[in-house]
Chains A and B, each alone.
Chain A
Amino acid sequence: MLRRVSQLAMLGLQDRIWTPGELNRHVRQLLEGDYRLQDLWVAGEIANLSQPASGHLYFSLTDGSANLRCVIWRSEAEGLARLPRDGEAVEVHGHLSVYEAGGQYQLYADRIRLAGEGELFQEFMRLKQKLEAEGLFDPARKRPLPRWPKRVGVVTSPTGAALRDVLNVLSRRYPLVEVVLSPTPVQGEAAPAAIAQALAALEACDVVLLVRGGGSMEDLWAFNTEQVVRAVAASRAPVVSGIGHETDVILADFAADRRAPTPSAAAEVATPDRQDLAVEIGELTRSLRRAWQGRRQALRQGLRETRAALAAQAPQARLAGARQRLDEMAGRTALSLRHRLSLSRAEVEALAQTLHAIGPLQVLGRGYALVRLSADGALVRSVGQVSPGADLQVQVSDGSFSAQATAVPTETSEG
C-alpha cells in the first residue's frame, strides 16, 4: 500500500504530504504575499499583556468574541511613547505573519495608539486639506530666515524642557541674541487660543521659534488646530517650528516658514554657529593679511620702478646728459670749424693765385712801375698830382726806391 502511494506520488497523481514545518512556512508565505495584511491597523482591547525578560511585548487584541495574538519586538517596544495596558482600547499597526515553531499566526505590531487617535487623524487630514486649498502651506509664502538674528522670539511653555533646550542651544551657538519668551500653555483646551495670542504678542523679532517637546498625538494637538496654524501664517516674523519628535507631523509645521524636527533643531536652524563664525573670521583675517602683503609688495615694486624712472629724471643726470650733449656738439663744432678752415685755406690760396695772376706785381714784372706820392702814398695816375720837387716812391717788380720830380710838364690832354 505504502509503496503504491509513493509510486502515485512520483507520478503526481497523489496529493502532496506536508510536514508541519513545510505547511507553516507555506501559510506564512501566503500571508506575507498579501499586501493588505502587511500594512494594516487593527482596533481592539488589550488582554493578557506580558513582557518577559527578552523585552518583547506579547498581548492579545480582543473584540469580546475573537482574539488576535500580537507581538511587539523589544526594539519597537522601546520606541513607544507609553506602554499599553490591559483593558485599553487601542489601534495597533503592523503586519500579519506566522510564528512557524508554534503554528500560530499573529500581528507583528510596530505602532500602537489609543483608539480615539484615529479620529484625531481624520480631523487632521480634513483640516490639512482645507488649509492647503487656501494656500496657507504654499512654499511661495515661506520667508527666508535672517542670517544675523538679533531678537529671537520663543513661543512655548515657560516651564517646559523645550525652552531649556532652546536656551542651551542659543547660548552655545550664538549668544549674541536677545531672547524674548512669549509664555503660553502648550497643551490643554486653552492652549490653541493662548498659543495664537503668544505668537501675535511678539513684536520686533527677527525670527520666532514655536517649540514644544515630544508627546502623544493628543498632547501635541493644539499645534494641529486651525487657530494656531493661522496664527503661524500671520506671524510678522518668520516662524521656525520645532514641535515634538522627528517623526511627528504637525499642521503648524506646514504653515511655518521653516520646519525643524525638535526644539533644539529649531534653535540651530535659526542661528549661525559661533564656532563656524570664529573659523570664518580666522580665514578672513588671513585673507586680509595676504591681500595687504600682496598690495604692499605690488606697491613696493611699483615704487622701485618709479624710483628708477625718477632717478633718470634727476638734475644731476640731466646735467650730465646735457654736458655730454654739449661735448658732443662742441666736438662736432670743432670738427666742422676745422673743416671749414681747411676749406677756406684752399680758397685763399686759389684766390691768391688768381690775385697774383691779375695783380700789379705780375704787371710790374713786365717793366711797369707804380708811382706814389711819398707825402700821402697816393698812387700817381695823373701829372696834375705831381708838383715840381715832390718826393715820390717808385715800386718796381722787386722793390721800390725814392725819386724826385724835377720838372712837370703842363697838363696835356691825352686824346
Chain B
Amino acid sequence: MSKPKAPDQLDFEQAFEELQALVRQLEQGELPLEDSLRLFERGQALATRCNQLLDEAELRLRKLAPDESGGYVEEDFQPEAE
C-alpha cells in the first residue's frame, strides 16, 4: 500500500480485495479529508477496473503436449466446434 499500483495494472483479485479493504477503511471514518478523498477516488477506479475485467475477460485456453524430452509444453488450443 506504500506505493499503490495504477488500477489498470491490477488483476481482478487484487483490485477486488483492495476495494473491499478500502471500503472498510473509509467506513471507519478516521481519516483526514485528503486521505478520504484519495481513498474514494481510488475505490471508484478499482470498481471500474473490476467491472472492466469481468466484462472484457475471455477464457484463455492452453493445452499440454508432450515434448521430445519426455516433458510437456503448453500450447494454445481451440476446442473442437460442435
Binding site for B on A (CB under 8 A): 147-148, 150, 158-159, 163-164, 167, 170-171, 174-183, 198, 201-202, 274, 277-278, 281, 284-285, 287-289, 291-292, 294-296, 298-299
Our pick among B26, B40, B59 for the contact of A179 (Cβ within 8 Å) is: B59
Q: Do the beta carbons of B59 and A171 come within 8 Å of each other? A: yes
C-alpha gap A190/B61 in the complex (Å): 26
Q: Specify which chain B residues have a CB less than 8 angstroms from the CB of A289 in the assembled complex.
A: 40
Q: How far is the CA of A184 from the CA of B42 in the complex (A)?
A: 46
Partner of A278, one of B23, B51, B74, B82: B51
Option from B51, B54, B62, B79 in Cβ contact (under 8 Å) with A176: B54
- Residues 26 to 57 of chain B near chain A (Cβ within 8 Å): 26-27, 29, 31-33, 36-37, 39-40, 43-44, 47, 50-51, 53-54, 57
B33 touches A296 (CB 8 A): yes
**Which chain B positions have C-beta within 8 A of A281?**
16, 19, 47, 50-51, 54
Residue of B nearest to A161 (CB): B82
Q: Interface residues, chain B, CB within 8 Å of chain A?
A: 11-13, 16, 19-20, 22-23, 26-27, 29, 31-33, 36-37, 39-40, 43-44, 47, 50-51, 53-54, 57-64, 72, 74, 77, 79-80, 82
Q: With A176-B53, A281-B16 in contact, do A181 and B72 touch (Cβ < 8 Å)?
A: no
| B62 engages A180 (CB within 8 Å) | yes
In the A-B complex, the 3 residue pairs with the smallest Cβ-Cβ separation, listed nearest first, are A148-B13, A292-B40, A291-B26
Contact of B44 among A158, A285, A291 (CB under 8 A): A285
**Contact indicator B64/A291 (Cβ below 8 Å):** no
CB neighbours (8 Å) of A288 from chain B are 19, 22-23, 26, 40, 43-44, 47
Complex formed: what's the CA distance from A16 to B23 in Å?
85
Q: What residue of chain A has the Cβ atom nearest to residue B50's Cβ?
A: A281
Chain A residues with CB under 8 A of B29: 291, 294-295, 298
Enumerate chain B residues within 8 angstroms of A177, measured Cβ to Cβ.
Answer: 59-60
Are B50 and A176 closer than 8 Å at their CB atoms? no
Chain A residue numbers with a CB within 8 Å of B13 are 147-148, 150
Q: Which residues of A contact B32 (CB under 8 A)?
A: 299
Chain A residues near B53 (CB-CB < 8 A): 176
Expressed in whole angstroms, the Cα–Cα distance for A150 and B11 within the complex equals 10
Could you count the A-B residue pairs with CB atoms below 8 Å apart for me: how many are there? Answer: 111
Evaluate contact between A278 and B54: CB separation under 8 angstroms: yes
CB–CB A291/B63 < 8 A: no
CB neighbours (8 Å) of B58 from chain A are 171, 175
25 residue pairs of the A-B complex, CB under 8 angstroms, read: A147-B13, A148-B16, A158-B80, A163-B79, A174-B57, A176-B12, A176-B53, A179-B60, A180-B63, A181-B61, A181-B63, A183-B63, A198-B64, A274-B57, A281-B19, A285-B44, A288-B23, A288-B43, A292-B26, A292-B37, A292-B39, A292-B40, A295-B29, A295-B36, A299-B36
Inter-chain pairs besides A183-B63, A288-B19, 15 sampled, C-beta below 8 Å? A148-B12, A163-B79, A171-B58, A176-B53, A180-B64, A181-B61, A181-B77, A281-B51, A281-B54, A284-B19, A284-B23, A292-B36, A295-B40, A298-B29, A299-B32
- CB-based contact A167/B26 at 8 Å: no
Decide: A202 and B63 in contact? CB cutoff 8 A.
no
Closest chain B residue to A152, Cβ basis: B59
Least CB distance, A198 to chain B, in whole angstroms = 8
Q: How far is the CB of B34 from chain A (nearest CB, A)?
A: 10
- If A179-B61, A182-B64 touch, whether A284 touches B54 (CB-CB below 8 Å) is no
Nearest chain-B residue to A171 (Cβ)?
Answer: B59
Closest beta carbon of chain A to B44's beta carbon, Å: 7
Give the Cβ gap from B37 to chain A, nearest Cβ, in Å.
8
User: CA separation between A178 and B11, bound complex, in Å?
Assistant: 13
B residues less than 8 Å from A291 (CB atoms):
23, 26-27, 29, 40
A-chain residues with CB within 8 Å of residue B39 when the two chains form the complex: 292
Expressed in whole angstroms, the Cα–Cα distance for A285 and B33 within the complex equals 19
Q: Give the chain B neighbours of A180 by CB distance below 8 A.
A: 62-64, 74
A contact residues around B33 at 8 Å (CB) = 295-296, 299
